[in-house]
Amino acid sequence: MLVFEAKLEGLKEQYEKLDEAIRTARFVRNSCLRYWMDNRDIGRYDLSAYCAVLAKEFSFASQLNSQARQASAERAWSAIARFFDNCKKNKPGKKGYPRFKKHQTHGSVEYKTTGWKLSECRRYITFTDGFGAGILKMWGTRDLHFYQLKQIKRVRVVRRADGYYTQFCIDQERRSKKEPTFKTIGLDVGLTHFYTDSDGQTVDNPRHLRKSEKSLKRLSRRMSKTKKGSNNRAKFRNKLARKHLKVSRQRKDFAVKLARCVVQSNDLVAYEDLRVRNMVKNRRLAKSISDAAWTTFRTWVEYFGKVFGVVTVAVPPHYTSQNCSNCGKVVKKSLSVRTHVCPHCGHTQDRDWNAARNILEKGLSTVGHIGTHASGDIDLCLGEATPPSKSGRGKRKPKEQSLESPRL
């Protein structure tokens, strides 16, 4: 499934109509959630039938396209199903009980195959539901002429701090050919450096939030001095939201470009299966860990691994920094110790470089696992504890300099 995005250009009245559609979609979703809370024995199709009841009871709900109402009910059911799945898997911590959506700067409404119409030049879109948003111009770099209209399965209208966007979900799998490089790599992510690979190369941590923190605090102070409900407060709130949006876009752009470069340069990529949700509980490092966006980087590595046919392996993180990459013995050290010195074999190496080599060896020894969120496969040691590595191992065999291209 491909998702193409374009910005919408229209009049203020048209934007208000889009706001009404987004607000109605949120109302349908919350109403379906309340209906499930009152009647726990209902299923997915009962929520879809309840959409027709809402359309008859509320006139503004009937103005929303029927398939858009169905999509809002599906969103409510996906939240319910995710909650039950987490309970069945006995996920540690909170299970994610479904919650009501409130009014926020961002919001969206999703149409299926009706309620919208594209122009012949594919540069204008017309929304034909009861709200009457009319014709809006689309600004984007994607050319929809390469795909047939029947391939467009969903159309979303997304509201952000800097305007309104439309997203097209196209039924098309993305595949690209890549020449084999006969290289493998292990990645150890960190805070000082974004990651250190098994070859000793490092990538600096961009720290997008830290660089913009001064301007964010200044805008937050100015907004706090305004009167609640005033136009001046709304103006500064929008400025603050735009600044946060810019930081998130910078973070995503960095992760996408770096992940694509890593995947195209190697035939196998090994990385740690970190539980970032537990790591951010450390209040001293939570902001820095969140700013690094390791999970976003991993998601894009797995996605490009599927696109280019590269094996991506998630290995358990246990003892990757403690084990010696030369002899395999455990060398205990605190987080403040940045240099690995093995008392058994005398091997000295940077701590992160040593960990990256251990991650690569674990990835090469892992058989039958390709850890990709994009393909829907289950990642290694996800949801179950992995036993720690054994310390009484003998001297490891020397690694081969080349590796045949994996067959997928």
Structure tokens, 168: 């097209």
- 8 Å CB contact between 126 and 151: no
The confidence score (pLDDT) of residue 405 equals 39
What is the chain's mean pLDDT, rounded?
87
Backbone angles phi, psi at 27, to 5 degrees: -65, -45
Q: Could you give the dihedral angle defined by the CA atoms of residues 174, 251, 142 and 6, in that order, rounded to the nearest 10 degrees?
A: 130
- The length of the chain in residues reads 408
Separation between Cα atoms, residue 277 and residue 308, nearest integer Å: 29
Tokens 């939201």 correspond to what residue? 241
Alpha helices, DSSP H, located in 102-183: none
Over residues 258-307, the pLDDT tens digits come to: 999 999 999 999 999 998 988 998 889 999 999 999 999 999 999 999 99
The confidence score (pLDDT) of residue 321 equals 87
Residue 377 pLDDT greater than 80, yes or no: no
> Which residues are bridge partners to 124 per DSSP?
137
pLDDT band at 382 (very low <50, low <70, confident <90, very high): very low
pLDDT band at 347 (very low <50, low <70, confident <90, very high): confident
Over residues 43-89, the pLDDT tens digits come to: 999 999 999 999 999 999 999 999 999 999 999 999 999 999 999 99
Separation between Cα atoms, residue 362 and residue 153, nearest integer Å: 41
Separation between Cα atoms, residue 197 and residue 304, nearest integer Å: 18
Of 175-184, 243-252, 329-338, 360-369, the least confident: 360-369
HSE-up of residue 348 (Cα within 13 Å, Cβ side): 1
